[in-house]
Amino acid sequence: MMRARMDEYVEICRQLADKHNCIFVDFQKMYEEYCKIRHSSYIAWDRVQ
């Protein structure tokens, strides 16, 4: 549920960036890519992100 909600927020932000001619940086995607090579505890030892 929370993951699906995050995807909704990301899409809304992407649309707003396009509408207002802004650069959109998808930090969620960056985080997911990072977690393919390192455990999330490298970013937050308590795993709260």
CB 24 within 8 A of CB 14: yes
Q: pLDDT at position 49, please?
A: 58
Q: Each residue of 21-41: pLDDT tens digit?
A: 999 999 989 988 998 999 888
pTM of the model: 0.68
